[in-house]
Amino acid sequence: MYPFGKGKARLIPYLYLSIPLLLYVVFGFGPSLVTILFSFTDATGVRGQEWSFIGFENYKTFFGASNAGDRMDAIGRSLYFAFAVVIIQNAVGLFIAILINKKLRGDKLYRAVFFLPVVLGVTVSGLIWQLVANPLGGPAQSFLNFFGTSSNFFGDYNIAFELIIFVQIWMYMGYSMTIFLAGLQSIPSDLYEAGYMDGASGWKAFTNITFPMIAPAFTVNMLLSIIGALQTFDIIYVLTGGKFNTTTLAFDVYATAFGTGTADYGLASAVAMIQFLFVFTISMVALFYLRRREVEA
């Protein structure tokens, strides 16, 4: 039996599949190949200007002595950013999911409120927190002044990176909450009833029943948050533009291509490839470890 008929009609599914495949090749796979190619050239992106292959010179420049300090600082900030975001975002998301899963009154409203930052988008979220944290009469500073403190906490540039971490967590904790909530709601109630009969309640029930059963959701959340945190560029661009020691490796790609006053697509492409290998390696190590933990659980 042929659900799409016989003859030429059987080609209809392939026709439907060809459209998204073409879009992926043009806007996904194609640019990736161009990035690899450009990383071995001195291309500037200026129309009409000639470019040539220069081998691994861009990669040597990235790891060169003149830039080593700045590059290592950017990599260090990327790791610090990812570590803080992944741990806190998933911990908060899991905590909220557990509360909502208890069938509280108005749980749908709470779910919508916590998921709202995901819907708002990066630009809107960034502008909101720029307004809130404005040291010159912003709501947060006014709140501190209301209690008689003269602290210029939000005017301290040394906490700019921590504020970016906070905003990143605020934006995506609702996403983590949703995935954890789906995992929690898939746990059969019979398991808890059997656990209670064996004396497992509270923390013991969480560690022996809940956490092992949501291991797949935990793996998904951890992997998505690791990749997302290491690739974060947009919120840094909106909030600080990379100033005040907030540049990460992902932001360095943009800064190299456009932020120096002269376009350098070749070097920026090399940085992008290093960024890809950086994210890919950490993600694969994390996935291998988390999958092993799933089996053990």
Can you list the domains of the chain with their CATH numbers? 65-296 (1.10.3720.10)
Could you give the CA distance from residue 169 to residue 120 in angstroms, rounded to a whole number? 14
297 has a pLDDT exceeding 70: no
Mean pLDDT score, 212-218: 89
**CA separation (Å) from 283 to 71, 227, 229, 230, 262?**
21, 7, 11, 10, 33
Residue-level pLDDT at 204: 80
Q: What is the pLDDT of residues 64-95, one digit of tens each?
A: 767 777 788 888 999 999 999 999 999 999 99
Could you give the CA distance from residue 179 to residue 106 in angstroms, rounded to a whole number? 19
Residue-level pLDDT at 79: 93
Q: Which residues contact 72 (CB under 8 A, 6 or more apart)?
A: none
Residue-level pLDDT at 2: 53
Q: In the structure, what pLDDT confidence band is assigned to residue 96 with cuts at 50, 70 and 90?
A: very high
Q: Are 116 and 104 in contact (CB under 8 A)?
A: no
Could you give the CA distance from residue 64 to residue 121 in angstroms, rounded to a whole number? 37
Of the CA atoms within 13 Å of residue 149, those in its CB half-sphere come to 10
In percent, how much of the chain has pLDDT > 90? 26
Q: Which residues contact 239 (CB under 8 A, 6 or more apart)?
A: 126, 129, 130, 160, 163, 164, 167, 246
